[in-house]
Homo-oligomer: A and B are copies of this chain.
Amino acid sequence: MSGAAGGIRVLLADDEHLIRGALAALLALEDDLTVVAEAASGPEALAMARAHRPDVAVLDLQMPGADGVSVARALRSELPGCTTMIVTGHGRPGHLKRALAAGVRGFLPKTVSAQRLAEIIRSVHAGNRYVDPELAADAISAGDSPLTAREAELLELAADGAPVTEIAARAALAPGTVRNYLSSAAAKLGAENRHAAARIARQRGWI
């Protein structure tokens, strides 16, 4: 099931051409790694994976269409033999949690070096897991989301600054109910108001 003579077959997905191309060139220097496909969006990454059946998929977290975690989840069911890794610029604790739940085997920030990335690709391909220590520490200290499903949902609707009446309309709820949930969410997050709460929740990756 592993790569052919060329070594480990890698899929690279990142919407930033500059980075993707540069990365491809750099990984190509490693004898045992072969970049067999590149993609600039979530759907494209999926299509490429179906067509080229890579051993390892290196996915950016933020891509147009579908984020890295969604792609990883889809790959897990469609191509069980393909190991997935997430690479991200700014890692939010919640993302890491969701990524691991989606079967991702590696999670690291873009601050690592290319050589380190190559090592990690080999490592996860060999069956190990790798999570960036700092991101792991953040995730642990941030802990689980204390929000109920309803609270998270309403907080997300409130995140763009919409007034309560609009949120109530969109959620088909009474305005008072909405206020109550948001108030509760803000209290749990230690925020002064729902807007600050939304910021915190987003920062932690909880919405």
Which of the four size classes fits the interface of chain A? 20 to 34
Partner pick for A113 among B18, B161, B193, CB 8 A cutoff: B18
B161 A18 Cβ-Cβ under 8 A? no
A171 contacts partner chain B, Cβ-Cβ < 8 Å:
no
A112 B18 Cβ-Cβ under 8 A? yes
Assess A17 versus B111: contact at CB under 8 Å? Given A22-B26, A25-B25, A160-B199. Answer: yes
Contacts of A24-73 to chain B: CB distance below 8 A: 25-26, 29, 40
B21 A114 Cβ-Cβ under 8 A? yes
Chain A residues with CB under 8 Å of chain B are 15-19, 21-23, 25-26, 29, 40, 87, 89, 109-114, 117, 160-163, 166, 191-193, 195-199
